[in-house]
Structure 1
Amino acid sequence: MDLYHAAHGRLPGKEQFECISIHGGCAISLPRAPAIGLNRILGLGKPEDLDEAYAWMSSKAGNRFLQVNVDAASDELRFWMQSKGLAAYGPGWAKLRRDASAGSLPPSGDVKTRKVRPDEAELFGTMMCAGFGFPENLAALWSAIVGRDGWLCFFALDGEIPAGTGAMFASGSFAWLGGGTTVPSFRNRGAQKALIHARLQEGAVHGVSTFVVETEAPSPEKSNISNANLTKMGFVHCYNRSNFNL
């Protein structure tokens, strides 16, 4: 929701970036962004709320998904999903958390990190779009969070050159980590581990006691470097969210 408020008005109207809040959950749509995270219904479990979100999302273009923790879903929610004929998509997402009291952080490795300066907002947004496969003209989406209250943005450095990105949104004692991407030539050198370390340290300074993050759900058939890095940094698995095509 805060990402939407940060970027609202900065993207051209033709991008049709929209978001609605419904009883603690939300529905968000950015049709030209391929990411599930920007084209989903999230945090809703009551049929009447889902009906409202489903009707709103049905009028949108592009990718459209419902994210649900199926293991914790009520019979009402399961029946609603069956009535819509929703089909599961992909491996789903794993939600992980780390408490600040979990103990000391492992070493961050040799890769250096630093905060993104306000005058580097455009570079940060461009790097994020390149890493996630977004069209370049959506860079303002990520540029908008640099320097915004609640957000902290970081670069991983190849010498003095930014080569990786990471973001953190903090609210009260909780913080969400996201936006982790690395330029191809700098991958597999520890950039993301260093960025996780930097955000955990900075969050602790700002009074964060609980960090949360999500990755693609790991499976025996497919390795997941992001999940492995987070586990090494003390994150533990909480639950999985399945993705359903709308």
Structure 2
Amino acid sequence: MSASKDTSGFWSKAQGFGFSKPLTAEVLDEVIGFYRSEGTASANFHLPEQVLPADWAELAAKYALTRGPSLVKLRRDDSPVAAAPTPLRVGPITEADADAWAAVQVEAFGFEDGDGRMAEMLAAIGRIAGVTAYGAWDGDLLVATGALSVDGEAAELVSAATRPAYRGRGAQSALVARRTQDAVAAGCRSIFVETGKPGPGDRNQSLENLRRAGFEVIYERPIWAWRA
């Protein structure tokens, strides 16, 4: 995926490589060639350790790929999950909420969006097949977001964001519980989610929330940064 005008460095990413065929110099040439053709200044390769070839150190040096932080992938089964307490109202959004949903994402992640195009892209989430967007409200104010993607018996929790002023009020714990409940009700047997791996001595509240909801870490995925 390329988002050549994105200044956050988040959206241009390459992942899923090394499973159906080996991760080789030819694969890297093809992917990096794509980014160059798109005028993309930087991109992130998401590569679990198990897909890296024996000569990865040489390949990373050749293509100037620099290892950065890691994500952790988590999974839970379809066992029941209790609702999490919060003073906020939690549930799916309507089409009328789409712009406010996108605005929470832009604010929470600090995206630069002077022309409003990123918000326009994010607001389209409700039109993606199999995806339901959720929100948490303080009265009429949408203050936190999440989404649920369902594909057969698998589901993934994505798009968690909370306005800074509303963090610590249980919004994400409640959104995790509600989306998990809805995934189980939809017949999903495996529910996945990912979040950042905390550094030594650090905490990741999102990771702690997920573990309380019955999710277990199944692997880590380091991010390798490429710069044009």
Given that residues 73 and 221 in structure 2 are in contact (C-alpha distance below 8 angstroms), is that contact kept between their aligned partners in structure 1? yes
The change in CA–CA distance for 1:78 and 1:99 in structure 2 (over 3 A counts) is farther
Deviation at 1:182, TM superposition (A): 0.9
Give the match for residue 28 of structure 2.
50
Aligned position for 1:132: 109
d(CA) in 1 for partners of 2:105 and 2:170?
A: 18
Please report how far the alpha carbon of residue 239 of structure 1 lies from its aligned counterpart in structure 2 after TM superposition: 1.0
Cα RMSD (Å) of the superposition?
1.9
Q: Which amino acid aligns with 1:41?
A: A
Percent identity for Structure 1 against Structure 2: 26
Q: What residue in structure 2 maps to residue 87 of structure 1?
A: 66
C-alpha distance in structure 2 between counterparts of 1:189 and 1:171, whole Å: 31
Match of 1:64 in 2: 43
Secondary structure of 1:149's aligned partner: coil
* Counterpart residue identity of residue 146, structure 1: G
Name 1:187's counterpart in structure 2: 167
**TM-score if structure 2 supplies the norm length?**
0.86
Structure-2 separation of matches of 1:53 and 1:151 = 27
**2:224 is aligned with 1:224:** no
CA distance 1:66–1:148, change in 2 (3 Å): closer
On the 8 A contact 1:114/1:155 being kept in 2, the answer is: yes
Q: Give 2:144's aligned residue.
A: 164
Counterpart of 1:176 in structure 2: which amino acid? E
The DSSP-based 3-state class of the residue aligned with 1:74 is coil
Deviations 1:217-243 (A, max 9, x none): 123321101111111111110111111
* 1:52-91 residue CA offsets vs partner (Å, 9 max, x unmatched): 11211234334311111124422255543243232112x2
Cα distance change of structure 1 residues 53 and 169 upon mapping to structure 2, 3 Å threshold: same
Query: Please, which runs of 5 or more residues in structure 1 have no aligned partner?
Result: 1-18, 20-27
Q: Which residue of 2 aligns with 1:25?
A: none
User: 1:98 is matched with which residue?
Assistant: 76
Q: Give a deviation string over 1:107-165, Cα, whole Å, max 9, x none.
A: 41133201110122111112211111123411011111125321111111213422110
Equivalent residue in structure 2 for 1:213, among 189, 193, 196: 193
The superposition leaves residues 157-201 of structure 1 with CA deviations (integer Å, 9 ceiling, x where unpaired) of: 213422110011111111121111111221101000001111111
Task: After TM superposition, give the deviation of residue 33 of structure 1 in Å.
Answer: 4.8
- The answer as to 2:5 corresponding to 1:31 is yes
Q: Equivalent residue for 1:113? A: 90
| Residue 7 of structure 1: aligned partner | none
Q: Which has the higher contact order (CA 8 A, sep 6+)?
A: 2
Instruction: Measure how far apart 1:30 and its partner are.
Output: 4.5
CA contact (8 A) 1:31 1:63 kept: no
Q: Is the 8 A contact 2:73 2:218 kept in 1?
A: yes
Q: Does 1:238 align with 2:218?
A: yes
Provide closer, same or farther for how the CA distance between residues 61 and 54 of structure 1 changes in structure 2, counting only shifts above 3 A: closer
Q: Which runs of 5+ in 2 are unaligned?
A: none
Aligned residue type for 2:158: G
Q: Which amino acid aligns with 2:45?
A: L
The verdict on how the C-alpha distance between 1:132 and 1:35 changes in structure 2, with shifts beyond 3 A counting, is: farther
1:41·1:67 contact (CA, 8 Å) conserved in 2?
Answer: yes
Aligned to 1:8: none
User: Aligned residue pairs: how many?
Assistant: 216
